[in-house]
Amino acid sequence: MLEFIVFFVFAAIAVIFALAVILHRNPVVGALSLVASFFALAVMYVLLEAPFLAVLQIIVYAGAIMVLFLFVIMLLNLQHAREENTRPIQQFLGYTGSAAFGLGLVYYIAKYAALQLPNGPFNADARAVGVELFQAYIFPFEMVSILLLAAIVGALLLSGRLPSKVRAADGEGAR
């Protein structure tokens, strides 16, 4: 009974703040709403008896990634960004497209995920997650790390912070 109350309260919080993210005009408020939504999601993980995942959710998303988001928003000073007027056809396509996607998502989640409970006790402590990650999912894990490395190298290249020798070899010439 208590679990149901907690679930619905925090589900409502998560949804309300998620709506605030897309509806509020001020990007800083949007980013902070997303943080609040992440906290509500962390409570969901606790209810699923996975406190380790809940804590990881807060450390990674609320503690690190959203701080960087806020940093960029403030650095670019986006607080009074004015939006360009959109054409009616764009609005129509946007609303119908996302509505169709949302309905499809709900349908398939309800059909495939929610009705198939995992058999056996659910184990998500640090040890279990680590063992799974480095045994069963080692290939995707390494793939993601290579992808991230490529993104870092790409960002470094685009920001132009290369030693002058490399630039000269690129034909760009040293500034």
Partner 1 sequence: MNPWMLYLVWPLIKFLIAFVIVQVIVAAMNWIERRVLGLIQARLGPNRVGPWGLLQIVADPIKFLLKEDIVPSSAEKIAYFLGPMLPLVPAFIVFCLIPFGPPPTFAVTHTNVGLLLILALTSTGVYGIILGGWASNNKYSLMGGLRSAAQMVSYEVPFGLSIVGVLMLCGSLDLVHIINYQAHHVWNVFPQLIAAFIFFVSMNAENNRTPFDLPEAESELVAGYHTEYSAMKFAFFMLAEYSAMLVNCCLMVSLFLGGWTLAIGGYGLTTATLKSMGFMGGLLGTVIFVVKVMTFMMIYIWFRATFPRFRFDQLMDLGWKWMIPLALINIFVTGIVVLAAPEMIINGSVVPVGETILAVAGAATVALTLFLIMKPRAHAPKVIHASRVSEA
For position 13 contacting partner 1 by CB under 8 A, the verdict is no
Say if CB 66 and CB 38 are below 8 A apart. yes
Read out DSSP for 38-100? HHHHHHHHHHTT-HHHHHHHIIIIIIIIHHHHHHHHHHTT-TTPPPPPPPHHHHHHHHHHHHH
- The answer to whether residues 54 and 39 touch, using CB atoms and an 8 Å cutoff, is no
* Cβ-based neighbours of 11, under 8 Å, separated by 6 or more: 40, 44
Residue 56 in contact with partner 1, rule: CB under 8 A: yes
Stretch in the footprint of partner 1 (CB under 8 A) among 6-14, 57-65, 86-94, 141-149: 57-65
Closest contact distance (angstroms) between CB of 67 and partner 1 is 5
Residues in 85-124 at the binding interface with partner 1, rule: CB under 8 A: none
Which residue in the set 1, 2, 5, 75 belongs to the binding site for partner 1 (CB under 8 A)? 75
- Note whether 58 binds partner 1 by CB under 8 A: yes
By the rule CB under 8 A, 14 interacts with partner 1: no
- Contacts to partner 1 by CB under 8 A: 28-29, 32, 35, 51-52, 55-56, 58-59, 62-64, 67-68, 70-71, 74-75, 79, 125-126
